[in-house]
Chain A
Amino acid sequence: GAGVSQSPSNKVTEKGKDVELRCDPISGHTALYWYRQSLGQGLEFLIYFQGNSAPDKSGLPSDRFSAERTGGSVSTLTIQRTQQEDSAVYLCASSLERGWGETQYFGPGTRLLVL
């Protein structure tokens, strides 16, 4: 079956512009996660959704970052007024249910470059 998909695969934007990154989880997966992979910070957790709800948004790096999930499926990560330090690969993962007994399946990522 289809895995986690993310779009776009690559995005180049100018500093100050807004960007939207999309994640399509595996069908039926209730839990969804966003991570960021950057040279300076390694792999860092951003936010987790159970269904459409995110219990806590404190992992988001700044108030320029927001995320939503609708219909228990697709999620969008939005970065407003992008900065050069936002350049990174943004990874999405999903799992069937919450809990560590469930494997997180990762998408291929969106590579974001802010000029």
Chain B
Amino acid sequence: AQSVTQPDIHITVSEGASLELRCNYSYGATPYLFWYVQSPGQGLQLLLKYFSGDTLVQGIKGFEAEFKRSQSSFNLRKPSVHWSDAAEYFCAVGAEDFGNEKLTFGTGTRLTIIP
């Protein structure tokens, strides 16, 4: 069965600093990988996704992620964070399991931005 690990529960960065959120996955086949963001009181919003092809994926809000098969990783990056980026970030792997198409999520990383 597929699984996702986000090793960092909480990260604090200064506004304007760079950001990297870690994600490791376990899945037997080629994974479909996603990053979602959840702002306080908001639903989940898709930031970016990887299916195949170029391993560096660009998303919304200036985020990017790099798929590294050898490391089973799909880390999310942003060169310069803004206060509005404070939120919870979820990495997910998509799989088909007994006819179900389901996303398996990591436990999330809460991002705090300090001035």
Known: A45-B104, A101-B51, A103-B49. A55 touches B99 (CB 8 A): yes
Does the CB pair A100–B99 fall under 8 Å?
A: no
Does the CB pair B98–A55 fall under 8 Å?
A: yes
A26-51 residues with Cβ-Cβ distance < 8 A to B are 31, 33, 35, 42-45, 47-48
Does the CB pair B51–A42 fall under 8 Å?
A: no
Q: What bracket does the count of chain B residues touching chain A fall in?
A: 20 to 34
- How many angstroms from the CA of A48 to the CA of B95 in the assembled complex? 12
Does the CB pair B102–A45 fall under 8 Å?
A: yes
Known: A43-B90, A103-B49. A108 touches B43 (CB 8 A): yes
Does the CB pair B43–A109 fall under 8 Å?
A: yes
Does the CB pair B42–A108 fall under 8 Å?
A: yes
Known: A43-B90, A104-B46, A107-B43. A99 touches B102 (CB 8 A): no
Chain B hits for A109, CB < 8 A: 43
A43-89 residues with Cβ-Cβ distance < 8 A to B are 43-45, 47-48, 55-56, 58-59
Binary contact track B4-27/A, C-beta < 8 Å → 1, others 0: 000000000000000000000000
Does the CB pair B45–A106 fall under 8 Å?
A: yes
Interface residue total, chain A, C-beta cutoff 8 A: 28
Does the CB pair A104–B43 fall under 8 Å?
A: no
- How many angstroms from the CA of A31 to the CA of B94 in the assembled complex? 14
Chain B hits for A47, CB < 8 A: 100
**Which of A4, A43, A45 interacts with B100 by CB under 8 Å?**
A45
Tell me how far the C-beta of B57 lies from the nearest C-beta in chain A, rounded to whole angstroms.
Answer: 14
Does the CB pair B102–A100 fall under 8 Å?
A: no
Tell me how far the C-beta of A16 lies from the nearest C-beta in chain B, rounded to whole angstroms.
Answer: 29
Tell me how far the C-beta of B109 lies from the nearest C-beta in chain A, rounded to whole angstroms.
Answer: 12
A91 is an interface residue with CB less than 8 A from chain B: yes
Tell me how far the C-beta of A8 lies from the nearest C-beta in chain B, rounded to whole angstroms.
Answer: 15
**Which of A42, A58, A104, A107 interacts with B107 by CB under 8 Å?**
A42
Q: Across chains A and B, which 8 residue pairs bring their CB atoms closest together, nearest first?
A: A55-B99, A43-B105, A45-B102, A106-B44, A100-B32, A106-B43, A42-B107, A108-B43
Residues of A that sit less than 8 Å from B by CB? 3-4, 31, 33, 35, 42-45, 47-48, 55-56, 58-59, 91, 93, 98-101, 103-109
